[in-house]
Amino acid sequence: MIERARAGYLGILGTVVLGVAAVLGFYGRFVHPLPGLPWPLLLVPLGALLTAPLFPPSSWKGRLRLWKDPLTLGAYLLLAGLFFFLAFLLSLLGLDLLLRPPGLLGRLFFPLSLLAPLGRLLPAPPGDLLLALGLATAATLWGVVEAAWVRVVRVTLRSPRIPPGTERLRVVQISDLHLGLIHDLRFLHRLVRKIRLLKPDLLVSTGDLVDGSLEGQEDVADLIREIRPRLGALAVTGNHEFYAGLEEALAFHRRCGFRVLRNEAVRVGPLWVAGVDDPGGKYGPTAPRADEEGLLEGWGEGGRRPYVLFLKHRPVVRRGTLGRFDLMLSGHVHGGQVFPWNLLARSAYRYARGLKRLRGAGRGAFLYVSAGTGTWGPPVRLFAPPEVTVFDLFPAKRR
């Protein structure tokens, strides 16, 4: 049986490959004949590479390897390139249809016929195939660079619930690292070094720390454990912890130094930190639902309530929890990860990225949705840079 992470890859691979085949078939039939290349000789090695992630990793052993599984890395990069090629080719075909004289737009709406001269800037077939291929290659290479460059986002918050006289309390959030199938050890070394330089009082992970098999990942866990924040490290599960195997994922978290909050709350310095399990990819009336309202109640009302930090993987705020926490940290959305999905993320989640001040019953509270620290699938990001988020919490200023 193929584990869920690899089954997801298979679904995406099938969709992208079928899309590319359909568009190239249309192109060769109605736009321009495709060049007579020895397709079988090309497809066999490409097919062998693309199916590499479906098999158990072959090269994860050995602490000195930069990439844990180079074949899987190559397959994911090729998949990203195929996706970008499909997107750019469809865009060029669409522009060609709309802008070349007489121009479909010009026939529908005369003033837009003025755009028809722009059609001359488009390369004639099969030049558009080469342009799409070049753009896809550039986008993939840039995406690798962007995914490796983790920025630090800083947020300063003040609250009367932080006891007066408390010095700055620094909470550092990581999210959606997706360790397991592929990762760059050099990237992880840089990430750990960056977090240690931030000197966090508390480190939190808001889900999807792992993804896929964790075989041979002990060196990675030990590397993360080196961060050693002053007040400890807390985490919650994301959907991929369940996909990877919950017990194995929890053991990996413990080795990393995290305490996983599974529908529970703990006192950390002047804070109460609450965390809930992710539904684990199950939806509908039978999906497990944590009792968030019950977890967050009973800590006093008004000014008597302590500052509550709420960790939840998905950025979904239940109405019944409003007014019961001060800062909710989430992830899951990845900021869309790859253009144009970053533009569509808001259609799936009301709160898709960044800091949001809640209104109504939750007035005075904040939700922060991380763009994610790692990547899901290909180690590629496009116009959705990864981040480590620093929250500096202070008492309210005296008037």
Q: What is the rounded CA–CA span in Å between residue 119 and residue 105? A: 12
158 and 133, same domain (yes or no): no
Boundary-marking domain end, from 145, 174, 200? 145
Boundary-marking domain end, from 103, 119, 145? 145
176 and 227, same domain (yes or no): yes
134 and 164, same domain (yes or no): no
Token pair 């090695």 is found at 45
346 and 364, same domain (yes or no): yes
Boundary-marking domain end, from 99, 126, 145? 145
Length of the chain in terms of residues written: 399
What is the predicted pLDDT for the residue at 154? 98
CATH number at residue 211: 3.60.21.10
216 and 118, same domain (yes or no): no
161 and 130, same domain (yes or no): no
Q: What is the rounded CA–CA span in Å between residue 40 and residue 84? A: 23
104 and 185, same domain (yes or no): no
Q: 309: which strand partners?
A: 273, 327
Query: What 3 state SS string does the chain have?
Result: CCCHHHHHHHHHHHHHHHHHHHHHHHHHHHHCCCCCCCHHHHHHHHHHHHCHHHCCCCCCCCCCCCECCHHHHHHHHHHHHHHHHHHHHHHHHHHHHHHCCCCHHHHHCHHHHHHHHHHHHCCCCCHHHHHHHHHHHHHHHHHHHHHHCCEEEEEEEEECCCCCCCCCEEEEEECCCCEECCCEHHHHHHHHHHHHHHCCCEEEEECCCEECCCCCCHHHHHHHHCCCCCCCEEEECCHHHHHHCHHHHHHHHHHHCCEECCCEEEEECCEEEEECCCCCCCCCCCCCCCCHHHHHCCCCCHHHCCEEEEECCCCCCCHHHCCCCCEEEECCCHHHCECCHHHHHHHHCCCCCEEEECCHHHCCCEEEECCCCCCCCCCCCECCCCEEEEEEEEECCCC
What is the predicted pLDDT for the residue at 174? 98
25 and 164, same domain (yes or no): no
162 and 87, same domain (yes or no): no
44 and 92, same domain (yes or no): yes
Render pLDDT for 156-209 as a digit per residue (tens, 0 to 9).
Answer: 999 999 998 888 999 999 999 998 767 778 889 999 999 999 999 999 999 999
Number of domains in the chain: 2
194 and 269, same domain (yes or no): yes
Residue range(s) defining the domain that contains residue 220: 150-395
Distances (CA, A) of 38 to 11, 43, 357: 27, 9, 58
Q: Which residues of the chain have pLDDT under 70?
A: 1-3, 56-68, 100-119, 181, 281-288, 299-303, 398-399
174 and 293, same domain (yes or no): yes
Q: What is the rounded CA–CA span in Å between residue 286 and residue 44? A: 44
Closest CA to 4 of 225, 223, 312, 212: 212
What is the predicted pLDDT for the residue at 359? 87
Two tokens, residue 64: 């000195």
What is the predicted pLDDT for the residue at 244? 83
Render pLDDT for 225-276 as a digit per residue (tens, 0 to 9).
Answer: 999 999 999 999 999 999 888 999 999 999 999 999 999 999 999 999 999 9
